[in-house]
Each structure stands twice: as structure tokens, then as C-alpha cells.
């Protein structure tokens, strides 16, 4: 089997191995594939491994040998699933591989907003501590998390993991779950009590709101001018879900006005980020370039899972099939 990895440098810039996939066939790995390069590179190949390279209906029409697409991610919106079905192409994804890493990044963004580590490190490196008469100084007030309320929007595996960490900081955890039948109940995550509330009730008393919902028609721009108006003034917002679950223009306006005390995000609406993005230069805003999933251990787990998916397909028993 000819296996073409189309945008491999995102998951593997050269620091880990494609070995598990290489055991299953002839692997050709490209760092990045532009739209106009896709058809030529996939000629004669039965298997594509992709992260963000788009497979639309036109692509399927032009690739008669294609039998399998393995998505190196949990999300698979880059694939036209109906066209894949029509052409008999199996599509798989890798669910839950980045639960721990994404929860970790969520707290990293929060702690940067509350403890201002980057700001103070830059100050020290510029010699400000050396010039200080006092043994310590702070450039802006820090925030203690114990006793505050942490509200999670989306209570899947990642949301529940984040709940446990927030609880260990001494925070009260509430959530708006995707499953509306849970609203009004108290969920339990290994001893962590999570009171489930509707969105309006959940955000109004929260000191921190953290997004962990999938991107759907229902959740697109779930944080907008109207919902921001229901926030406690000075609340912090964290987004390790998807960029379009917030209205970025509304976020910028809320940061500028002080309604929103800070925004920490690993994702934006258009990636790579556009130079016109309203969050560029925003006050109290921490942005990382979609790296929550990229710890070495997490990427090794991802590639191993993708190999498991392909091996199962070759054995006639596909797993993690999304179409």
C-alpha cells in the first residue's frame, strides 16, 4: 500500500518517527501540501494521512485509487464525508489523544493571565530586579485562584479533566454541558463535584470561563456581545476549543473596555492567523499558535493511534470510522 502523508511537519517536524506507519506500507511524507499539489502527490496512492489538507468532492472525483483517509486529529471537518461515502473511501480520526495536553494548556493560559510570568520574566531579563531597592516588586496585580468560580462550557473528556485541575486549585467548578439533560444535576469527576447550569446562569457568577465544546452550528460564536454582557466584570476567558466558538471582534471590544479581564487562547478563527485579526495587540490577551496538542508524548500517541486505525482498516475491521 502506498501511504501519502500530506502535511506531516505539523505532527512530526523531524523529532519523532513515522515507524509504525512505515510497517504498513510505502510511506511518502510531505511537510506541507498546497491545494494545487494534492492530486499529483496522491496519484496511485490508496491511503492519505492528513491533518488540515482539504478533501472536497472534486478531489475524490480525481483520485480513483483512494481507499482510506486517516485524519491526524480529532476534528475531521476538512473531509467531505458524503463524497467519501459516495466513493467508498473510509475516513477515520483520532479521538481523545490530547486530553491531558489540552487540559494542561488550559491551565497554562490561565496561570499566565493570573501570575504574569512572561511579563515579570521579561522585566527581570531587562535588569529591573537588579535595579530594585526592594527584594521584590510586581508590574501588575497578581490573582489568587483559590475560592473563585471556574465555569466550563462543554463537559467532555477534556472539560472533566480541566474540572479536576481547577478543583485542585481550590476553585468551585460549574459547567454548561453539551448534554442538556445534565443541567440541574451535580456531575462527579473522580470526587470533583461539578454543578451543571445553563449558560446564562453559569457565566454570570464565574470568575473564569473555559471553553471545551465542539464547534457546531449551536456553539459557533457562543461567546458574543450578548453573552459577554452577562459576564462578571473582569472575568477571564480561556479558549482551548476552536477559534470560531467566539466572536473575536466582540472579545477585542470587551478587552478594550475592561469588561473582560483577560483572554487566553490557543486557537483563532482563521489559522494561520491573519494580520487583520482583531486580537493582535489586544490588552490582557495571551495567544499561542494552536500548540496545545503538540507535546512530544502527545504527538507520539497520535501517530501510534493513526497507525492502529490504518492497521485495523487493512485487517477489515476499521475503528474510529467517522463516515
Known catalytic membership, residue 23? no
What's the CA dihedral at 97, 175, 226, 237 to 10 degrees?
-60
Question: Given 160, 290, 299, 301, which residue is catalytic?
Answer: 290
CA proximity to 263, closest of 286, 289, 241, 229: 286
- Structure letter (DSSP) for residue 273: P
Known catalytic membership, residue 290? yes
| Phi, then psi, of 262 in degrees rounded to 5 | 180, 155
243 backbone φψ class: left, alpha, beta (φ>0; ψ -120 to 50): alpha
Q: Which residue has the cell 471553553?
A: 211
Question: Given 22, 128, 144, 271, which residue is catalytic?
Answer: 271
Number of other CB atoms surrounding residue 322 within 10 Å: 16
How far apart are alpha carbons 235 and 258 in whole angstroms?
9
Question: Given 242, 252, 299, 301, which residue is catalytic?
Answer: 242
Q: Between β-strands 149-153 and 90-92, what pairing exists: parallel, antiparallel or unpaired?
A: unpaired
Known catalytic membership, residue 297? no
CA 313 to chain centre: 27
How far apart are alpha carbons 212 and 175 in whole angstroms?
10
List, by residue number, the catalytic residues: 242, 271, 290
Amino acid at each position: 500500500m502506498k501511504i501519502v502523508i500530506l502535511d506531516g511537519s505539523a505532527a512530526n517536524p523531524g523529532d519523532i518517527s513515522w515507524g509504525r506507519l512505515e510497517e504498513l506500507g510505502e510511506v511518502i511524507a510531505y511537510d506541507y501540501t498546497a491545494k494545487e499539489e494534492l492530486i499529483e502527490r496522491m496519484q496511485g496512492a490508496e491511503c492519505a494521512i492528513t491533518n488540515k489538507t482539504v478533501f472536497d468532492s472534486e478531489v475524490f472525483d480525481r483520485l480513483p485509487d483512494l481507499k482510506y483517509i486517516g485524519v491526524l486529529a480529532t476534528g475531521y471537518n476538512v473531509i467531505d464525508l458524503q463524497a467519501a461515502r459516495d466513493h467508498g473511501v473510509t475516513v477515520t480520526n483520532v479521538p481523545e489523544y490530547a486530553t491531558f495536553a489540552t487540559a494542561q494548556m488550559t491551565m497554562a493560559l490561565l496561570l499566565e493571565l493570573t501570575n504574569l510570568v512572561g511579563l515579570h520574566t521579561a522585566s527581570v531579563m531587562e535588569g529591573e530586579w537588579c535595579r530594585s531597592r526592594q527584594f521584590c516588586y510586581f508590574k501588575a496585580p497578581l490573582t489568587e485562584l483559590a475560592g473563585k468560580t471556574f465555569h466550563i462550557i462543554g463537559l467532555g473528556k477534556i472539560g472533566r479533566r480541566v474540572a479536576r485541575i481547577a478543583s485542585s486549585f481550590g476553585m468551585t467548578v460549574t459547567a454548561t454541558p453539551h448534554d442538556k439533560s445534565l443541567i440541574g444535576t451535580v456531575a462527579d469527576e473522580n470526587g470533583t463535584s461539578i454543578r451543571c447550569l445553563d449558560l446564562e446562569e453559569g457565566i454570570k457568577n464565574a470568575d473564569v470561563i473555559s471553553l471545551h465544546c465542539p464547534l457546531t452550528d449551536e456553539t459557533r460564536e457562543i461567546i458574543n456581545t450578548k453573552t459577554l454582557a452577562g459576564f462578571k466584570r473582569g472575568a477571564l476567558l480561556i479558549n482551548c476549543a476552536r477559534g470560531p466558538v467566539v466572536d473575536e471582534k466582540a472579545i477585542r471590544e470587551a478587552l478594550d473596555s475592561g469588561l473582560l479581564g483577560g483572554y487566553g487562547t490557543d486557537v483563532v478563527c482563521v489559522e494561520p492567523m491573519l494580520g487583520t485579526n482583531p486580537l493582535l495587540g489586544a490588552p490582557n490577551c495571551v495567544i499561542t499558535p494552536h500548540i496545545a496538542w503538540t507535546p512530544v508524548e502527545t504527538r507520539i500517541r497520535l501517530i501510534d493511534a493513526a497507525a492502529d486505525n490504518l492497521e485495523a482498516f487493512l485487517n477489515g475491521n476499521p475503528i474510529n470510522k467517522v463516515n
